[in-house]
Homo-oligomer: A and B are copies of this chain.
Amino acid sequence: MVELQKRKGLSLRRLLFGDPLSTSQLIHERLTKVKALAIFASDALSSTAYATEEMMLILILAGSGAAHLAWPLALAIAGLLVIVASSYNQTIHAYPNGGGSYIVSHDNLGQLPGLVAAASLLTDYVLTVAVSISAGVAALTSMAPALYPYRVEVAIFFVGVMMVLNLRGVRESGTVFAIPTYIFLVIVFVLIITGVAKWMMSGMPAPLPPRFTYPAVHSLTLFLVLRAFSSGCAALTGVEAISNGVPAFKPPEAKNAAKTLTAMAGLLITLFLGVTFLVRQFGVVPDEHTHETLVSQLGRAIFGGNTLPYYALQAATTMILVLAANTSFADFPRLASLLARDRYLPHQFSYLGDRLAFSNGIIVLAAVSSALIVLFGGATTRLIPLYALGVFLSFTLSQLGMVMRWRRNKGPRWQLKALVNAVGAIVTGTVLIIFAITKFVDGAWIVIVWIPIFISFFLTVHRHYASVAKQLSLEAHGDPSPIRRNRVIVPIGDVHRAVLAALHYAQSLSNDVTAVYVETDPTRTPRILEKWKKWGKGIPLEVLPSPYRSILRPLVSYVDQISDPARRDEVVTIVLPQFVTARPWQQLLHNQTALLIQMAFLFRREVIVVNVPFHLREAPA
- A residues near B, CB below 8 A? 1, 4-5, 20-24, 346-348, 351-354, 461, 463-468, 471-474, 477, 479-483, 486, 495-498, 500-501, 504-505, 507-510, 520-521, 531, 535, 547-550, 553-554, 556-557, 571, 579-581, 586, 588-589, 591, 602-603, 605, 608, 610-620
Contacts and interface: CB of A to CB of B under 8 A. Distances in A.
Contact of A497 (B471, B531, B550): B471
Contacts of A618: 467
A612 B174 CA distance: 46
* Copies of this chain present: 2
A613 B608 contact: yes
A480 B501 contact: yes
Contacts of A354: 548-550
Contacts of A556: 4
A104 B514 CA distance: 46
- Majority secondary structure, A binding face: mixed
A497 B480 CA distance: 7
Contact of A507 (B483, B504, B505, B510): B483
A465 B618 CA distance: 11
Contacts of A464: 581, 586, 589, 619
A510 B486 CA distance: 11
Nearest to A577: B472
Given A556-B4, A589-B346, A589-B464, A24 B547 contact: yes
11 contacts: A20-B548, A22-B547, A23-B548, A24-B547, A463-B619, A464-B589, A474-B500, A474-B531, A479-B500, A483-B507, A580-B602
B480 A504 contact: yes
B352 A549 contact: yes
Contacts of A474: 495-497, 500, 531, 535
B615 A605 contact: yes
Nearest to A466: B619
A473 B497 contact: yes
A60 B613 CA distance: 64
Contact of A496 (B472, B495, B612): B472
A482 B271 CA distance: 80
A124 B372 CA distance: 45
A19 to B, nearest CB: 9
B508 A480 contact: no
Nearest to A570: B508
A580 B598 CA distance: 13
A611 B607 CA distance: 11
A547 B508 contact: no
Given A471-B616, A579-B468, A477 B505 contact: no
A608 B505 contact: yes
Contact of A553 (B4, B579, B603): B4
Contact of A483 (B346, B508, B588, B605): B508
A252 to B, nearest CB: 29
Contacts of A531: 474
A603 B613 CA distance: 8
Given A1-B553, A507-B482, A571-B505, A615 B589 contact: no
A348 B591 contact: yes
Contacts of A557: 1, 4
Contacts of A351: 549
A552 to B, nearest CB: 10
Contacts of A504: 480-483
A540 to B, nearest CB: 18
A24 B589 CA distance: 28
A616 B521 CA distance: 39
B605 A508 contact: no
A571 B504 CA distance: 11
B589 A467 contact: no
A357 to B, nearest CB: 11
A613 B486 CA distance: 15
Nearest to A352: B549
Given A20-B550, A474-B531, 4 more contacts: A24-B547, A354-B549, A471-B617, A480-B497
A347 B348 CA distance: 40
A560 to B, nearest CB: 8
Nearest to A619: B467
Contacts of A619: 463-464, 466-468
B22 A548 contact: yes
Given A464-B619, A500-B474, A547 B23 contact: yes
Given A479-B500, A482-B507, A548-B21, A610 B612 contact: no
A620 B467 contact: yes
Contacts of A620: 463, 467
Contacts of A535: 474, 479
Contact of A346 (B477, B509, B548, B588): B588
B548 A1 contact: yes
A565 to B, nearest CB: 11
A239 B608 CA distance: 55
Most buried by B among A20, A477, A548, A603: A548
A348 B587 CA distance: 12
A533 to B, nearest CB: 13
